[in-house]
Amino acid sequence: MKFCPNCGKKLETTSNYCPKCGGALKTAAASATEKSSAGATRKNEAKTEAQKGTPRSLQEKIVRYLLAGLMIIVFIFIAFYLPGAQWQRVNAVGNKYYEQRTVFNNDLSELNALSGSYADARLGNATLSRKATLASAYALKAKQAVTSWNYFSSFLAQNDGLLKDYNVNSSDAKKEIDSGLSAVKTETQLMHSELRDYASGDAAIAGVLKALEEVESADSKNAGQ
């Protein structure tokens, strides 16, 4: 049994219109069908949207897990490895500094001892040989020291930032090196001026003078690099 959707009259006809109110029976039914279809469509759309929020395949899940793992690795690298690597560099530079510092101190001590021995020996014919020997030893050591000290000075300039982290004042250390180089230059000039009057006809003295001149040349060459 059918009833009019508009006025509720009992229908006994197959007409498309209600005999009482004249309402279109087919249109109303179609409207009900459309409403039902629209509701089903909205449900399907909602279901589709919900599915978008979850991985649709095993491959997508794997990609997400890999990205998450990569982010964790990056975080660990930044949080732990970088500070450790920085400290390793600081520690390596600090150890190198004290190694070079020890060489500098030992060189300076040895040169001061040779300079003192040379000064204690009065210049004369009887002591000329000893003075020349001491001057030769000083020139040999000074040439070696000048090269080493200039390298040390360059090392300080290149690693100033890391040395600060190691509580080392590069400027003060460089001043000490410059002071040592100046003292070596002064001493070689003094020895050279004292011995050159005896160089005539004495090949040994001439050789010592040449060695002293090479010290000053080495200092100028290394300072210009």
Task: Express each pLDDT in 120-129 by its tens digit.
Answer: 988 877 888 8
Which residues partner with 3 through β-bridges? 10
For the chain, the structural domain boundaries read: 2-52, 89-223
Pairing of strands 2-3, 10-11: antiparallel
Position 218 scores a pLDDT of 73
Cβ density class 97-132: b for 16+ within 10 Å, e for less = beebbebbeebbebbeebbeebeeeeeeeeebeebb
Confidence of residue 210 (pLDDT cuts 50, 70, 90): very high
Position 82 scores a pLDDT of 46
Instruction: Render pLDDT for 182-194 as a digit per residue (tens, 0 to 9).
Output: 999 999 999 999 9
Average pLDDT value over all residues in the chain: 80
Query: Higher model confidence: residue 53 or residue 151?
Result: 151
The answer, as to whether pTM is greater than 0.85, is: no
Instruction: Render pLDDT for 48-96 as a digit per residue (tens, 0 to 9).
Output: 555 555 555 778 878 777 877 777 766 555 555 545 566 688 888 989 9
In angstroms, rounded to a whole number, what is the distance separating the alpha carbons of residues 47 and 147? Answer: 80
What is the average pLDDT across 14-32?
62
Contact present, 208 and 118 (Cβ < 8 Å): no
Position 114 scores a pLDDT of 96
Check whether 181 has a pLDDT greater than 50: yes
Position 224 scores a pLDDT of 47
- Output Rg (C-alpha) for the chain, integer angstroms: 49
Contact present, 177 and 149 (Cβ < 8 Å): yes
